[in-house]
Amino acid sequence: MTKYIVRRLLGAIPVLFGLSIVLFAFIHLIPGDPATAILGQHATAQRIAEMREYLGLDDPLPVQYVDYLAGLLQGDFGRSFINNQPVLGEFLRRFPATVELTIAAMIFAVGVGIPLGRFAARYAQRWPDGAVTVLSLLGISIPVFVLGLTLQYIFAVQLKVLPASSRIDARLQLDLQTNFVLIDAWLHAGWTFDEKVDAFVDGVRHLVLPAIALGSIPLAIITRITRASVIEVANEDYVRTARAKGLTERRIDGRHIMRNAWLPVVTVIGLQVGGLLAGAVITETVFAWNGVGRWIVDAIGNRDYFVVQSTILIFALIFLMVNLIVDIAYAFLNPRIRYA
């Protein structure tokens, strides 16, 4: 097992390395000069030349790439051209917002999707199954921004029961320490327990709509896969045997069906995490969510080279790691699989 993990980790290196080259080449291909982005409208040619030199943009591209890579290996992700702040610092400040949203969306998708899938499987080919199928069809067919705006309209504008945007009520003046609102609520110095609870609840209220919007596609897919794999497993011989033995349905469900039906579900959950990071780009735009999603879109427009290169690289790293974790989880769930 350890050997397998090591091999997979080593296997990720060429992909990440290749990705760093592709990203570097790609972002430098896009026309537009970051020096003029910094200097603005009335910069003279001389000023632009000075700025390019200062930023190291005049070096040959391979030299720039090696410099960047050397920095990366020492944990230096470069500085943003727009505000001259280190990319890593800004990333770490924004990333928790995206992670918090992603986790909430995943909890929603898994927490609702698996029971829904099992429910549909139990009533396969009857109307509850049909209803769930229609729901999951809608889930993959509604764009995140359409669903997000719809939820905002219903719950914030019309019913006024949930906030339409941002992460927490500005009036609470929550101190950001970890940048996870739901954690910081408990860490805030000088608050009573009740105040902490209030802040936490407020954070959760702000999370609900964006999490549903972002989680809708994974929800639909997890529901489908759960349904399909439960139906498939339920027809296996050993389940029939168990039933013939007179085991209770509850026990069959827990011991025999779900244990085996989990396999494809876990795979899909892993695949969806990568999709969530991409979905966050649009969700964060709809809900004015201060995460990495919108930041990176702006950075591409601004030719903020280091921001784009580094954040996408980190995204990809997370994507690869999640896939690895999924494969390991797979092995644990299925004793028949042995990685060597």
Partner 1 sequence: MASGTVAVVRVAPRASRGLWGDAWRRLLRNRPALLGFVFIGVFVGTAVFAPLLAPHDPGALYPPPPDASSGATGPYPPRPEHLMGQDLQGRDEFTRVVYGARISLLVGLGSVIFGVIIGGFVGAIAGAAGGRADNVLMRVVDVLLAIPGILLAIGIVAWLDRGLPQITIAVAVTNAPIFARLLRGGLLAIRESDYVLAARSVGVPTRRLLLRHMLPNSLTPIIVAATLALATAIIDVAGLGFLGLGPPDPRTPEWGTMLTDSTKFLRAAPYLIFFPGLAIVISAVGFNLLGDGLRESLDPRLKK
Partner 2 sequence: MRRTRFGVLLVAAGLLVGACTTGASPTPAATPAPTGAATPAPTTAPEETPKAGGTLIVALPGDISRTDSALIDDSNSSYVMNQVMEGLVGLKPGSASEVIPVLSESWTISEDALTYTFKLRTGVKFHDGTDFNADAVKFNYDRWLNIPDAYSKLEYTYYLDVALRPVVDSVTVNSPTEVAIKLTAPNSAFLTTQTLVPFFISSPAALELGKASDPDFANNTYAQGGAGAMTGTGPFKFKEWVPGDHVTLERNADYWDATHAAYLDGIVFRVFPDSTSTLNALQAGEIDFTQTLSPIDGKTVEGDATLQAIDRGGSCNLFNLSINQTHKPFDNLKIRQAVAYAVNKQSIIDTFYAGQAVVADNWMPPGFFSYKALNLPTYDPEKAKALIAESGVTDLSFDFWYPSDVARPYMPDPKGEFEAILRDLEAVGFKPNPKTATWRPDYLSAEAGGDYPLWLIGWTCDWAGPDNFLSTAFFGYRERSDNTFGPNEEFGYKNDAMWQAMDNALKTNSLDKAKEYWQQAQDFLAADMPSVPMLSSKPPAAAQLYVKGFVPNSTLTELFNTVWLADH
**Least Cβ distance, residue 312 to partner 1 (angstroms):** 6
Question: Alpha helix (H) ranges present in the chain?
Answer: 2-29, 34-39, 45-55, 61-73, 87-122, 127-141, 144-151, 181-187, 193-234, 237-244, 249-251, 259-286, 292-301, 305-333
46 binds, among partner 1, partner 2, none (CB under 5 to 8 A by kind): partner 2
Interacting span for partner 2 (CB under 8 A) from 82-90, 188-196, 309-317, 325-333: 82-90
Part in contact with partner 2 (CB under 8 A); list of ranges 15-23, 60-68, 253-261, 295-303 = 295-303
Q: Which does 334 bind (CB under 5 to 8 A by kind): partner 2, partner 1, none?
A: none
Task: Please state the closest distance from residue 102 (CB atom) to partner 1, in A.
Answer: 12
CB under 8 Å to 147, separation ≥6 — which residues?
212, 213, 216
Does residue 171 belong to the site contacting partner 2 (CB under 8 A)? yes
| 45 near partner 2, judged by CB under 8 A | yes
Taking the least distance from each CB to partner 2, the nearer of 20 and 179 is 179
Cα separation, 290 vs 292, whole angstroms: 7
For residues 131-140, b (16+ Cβ closer than 10 Å) or e, as one string?
ebeeebeebe
State which of positions 148-167 bind partner 2 (CB under 8 A): 156, 163-166
Helix (H, G, I), strand (E, B) or coil at 85: coil
Positions that interact with partner 1 (CB under 8 A): 14-15, 18-19, 22-23, 26-27, 29-32, 125, 137-138, 140-146, 149-150, 152-153, 157, 221, 225, 268, 271, 274-275, 277-278, 281-282, 285-286, 296-297, 300-301, 308, 312, 315-316, 319-320
Judged by CB under 8 A, does residue 52 bind partner 2? no
CB 262 within 8 A of CB 333: yes
* Binding of partner 2 by 125 (CB under 8 A): no
Q: Which does residue 54 touch among partner 1, partner 2, none (CB within 5 to 8 A, set by kind)?
A: partner 2
Scan residues 201-220 and list those touching partner 2 (CB under 8 A).
none
Render the burial of 172-187: b for 16+ CB within 10 Å, e for the rest: bebebeebbbbebbee
Nearer to partner 2, 8 or 205 (CB): 205
How many beta carbons lie within 10 A of that of residue 145, not counting itself? 14
CB neighbour class for 124 (10 Å; exposed up to 12, middle 13-18, buried from 19): middle
- Asked if 184 contacts 177 with a C-beta cutoff of 8 angstroms, the reply is yes
46 binding partner 2? (CB under 8 A)? yes
Residue 68 Cβ vs partner 2, minimum distance, rounded to whole Å: 18
Q: How far is the CB of 124 from partner 1 (least distance, A)?
A: 9
Site for partner 2 contains 303 (CB under 8 A): yes
In the complex, the smallest distance separating the C-beta of residue 163 from partner 2, rounded to whole angstroms, is: 6
List the one residue out of 102, 97, 93, 24 whose CA is nearest residue 57. 24
CA distances from 263 to 8, 69, 103, 257, 312 (A): 20, 38, 21, 11, 29
Site residues (vs partner 2, CB under 8 A): 31-34, 36-46, 50-51, 54, 82-85, 90, 93-94, 156, 163-166, 169-171, 173, 176, 288, 290, 298, 301-303
